[in-house]
Amino acid sequence: MAEVNDPALWRDALPWPGAETHKHNRGRLGVVSGGPLNTGAARLAARAGLRVGAGLVKVLCPPDAAPIVASALEAVMVEAFASPDGLETLAEAMDAVVIGPAAGLNEATVQNLAALARTGAVLVVDADALTIFKGRGVDLFASLDRDDVLTPHEGEFERVFPGLLAQGREAAAREAATRAGCHVVLKGAETVIAAPDGRSRVNGNGSPWLATAGSGDVLAGLIGGLVAQGMASFEAASVAVWIHGAAAEAFGPGLIAEDLPDLIPAVLRGLRP
Ligand SMILES: NC(=O)C1=CN([C@@H]2O[C@H](COP(=O)(O)OP(=O)(O)OC[C@H]3O[C@@H](n4cnc5c(N)ncnc54)[C@H](OP(=O)(O)O)[C@@H]3O)[C@@H](O)[C@H]2O)[C@@H](O)CC1
Ligand SMILES: Nc1ncnc2c1ncn2[C@@H]1O[C@H](COP(=O)(O)OP(=O)(O)O)[C@@H](O)[C@H]1O
């Protein structure tokens, strides 16, 4: 039986900077971007990761996307990679990496994921990096570690775990985490967070204002930003899902994904001891 996700479960585990903190030990997050026409999703995730407290955030992009990405970022940094090996080298310096938002439904995304899996970074795997493994989830699971996090919506979940949803969302998410050997965040009105050890939580503060393009990209960045700061993946996913819902509900009508990162500070202030 899943717990209801609530700040009482994880408030004490939230990362706050101390007097000796500097940007590098506050958590380094990378976000992989798609090509020149597909950079917005990674930028949304990166900004969310920075807002939730990661000290240093980089968008990692193909060379032809670099001028576009760089011209639309300030505190978030940019580095270009020309091959999966190049991405691996950049990711070695990261505590966590998000891959999938607008990454591209092509073999490059498969190879880039494999490259990231060779590093010590915790991976948040979303969107195209899930869809590209449609019908061959085992190939994805083989490269993941227990602390990695998959963030499918129901459509993506069905592609990677065909038929499992028939068990109901909670049971399906738990079974998926066991099969994949990592954490699974099954998104929806009641997002389920499941760990590979059998723990699960159902989120209670979802907001229908989140039904807008790019809000899932922001969630991936929030999870990445929290694991980069050293939070355990199960707690990081729980915190991120709750903050995401609280931010959306605070804004209400007219919310677009671009608004979400800048709503995070007020939510964090409310969680501060
Ligand atoms: N700013 C940017 O750059 C943004 C870029 N983005 C990027 O765009 C790329 C493609 O995104 P996408 O929306 O076309 O792909 P995806 O979500 O798989 O939908 C395909 C089909 O799946 C289904 N489906 C969808 N949701 C479902 C659900 N909850 N529950 C159940 N089913 C669901 C639905 O099928 P239908 O129900 O219509 O038959 C839908 O038609 C991807 O890389 C993404 O990261 C976006 O993040 C937005 C912001
Ligand atoms: N009706 C809803 N109620 C609560 N949360 C929702 C609702 N619709 C969508 N969401 C949330 O919004 C996000 C949408 O993510 P996703 O489908 O991946 O969108 P995108 O790919 O456009 O970023 C998820 O976190 C999901 O839980």
Q: Is 256 in the pocket of ligand 2 (CB under 6 A)?
A: no
47, 128, 153, 187, best to mutate for ligand 1 pocket (most atoms within 8 Å of CB):
153
**Known binding-site positions for AMP:** 187-191, 216
Question: Can you name the CATH fold of 27-256?
Answer: UDP-N-acetylmuramoyl-L-alanine:D-glutamate ligase (3.40.1190)
Q: What percent of the chain stands above pLDDT 70?
A: 100
Give mean pLDDT, residues 86-111: 98
pLDDT at res. 191: 98
What average pLDDT does range 198-223 have in this prediction? 98
Q: Which residue's CA is minimally distant from atom 22 of ligand 1?
A: 155
pLDDT recorded at residue 168: 98
Across the range 111-126, mean pLDDT stands at 98
Ligand 1 contacts (CB < 6 A) are 38, 40-41, 101-102, 127-128, 131, 153-156, 213-214, 216-217
**pLDDT(151) > 90:** yes
Q: How confident is the model at residue 240 (pLDDT cuts 50, 70, 90)?
A: very high
Supply the pLDDT for residue 45: 98
Residue 155 CA, ligand 1 centroid: distance in Å: 8
What's the mean pLDDT in 17-22?
94
Where does the pLDDT of residue 80 fall: very low under 50, low under 70, confident under 90, or very high at 90 and above?
Answer: very high
Determine the average pLDDT of the residues in 3-23.
96
Kindly report whether the global pTM for this prediction surpasses the value 0.90.
yes
Which tokens hold the place of 188? 């929806």
pLDDT score at 2: 83
Q: Could you identify the atom of ligand 1 that is nearest to the CA of residue 216?
A: 47
Q: Whose Cα sits closest to atom 18 in ligand 2?
A: 216
Q: What percent of the chain has pLDDT over 90?
A: 99
Please tell me the distance between residue 127's alpha carbon and the centre of ligand 2 in angstroms.
12
Asked whether the predicted pLDDT for residue 53 surpasses 90, the reply is yes
What's the average model confidence in pLDDT over 147-174? 98
- Ligand 2 pocket check for 188: Cβ under 6 Å: yes
pLDDT exceeds cutoff 80 at 1: no
**Which one of 149, 153, 217, 256 would you pick to mutate in the ligand 2 pocket, going by the greatest count of ligand atoms within 8 A of its CB?**
153
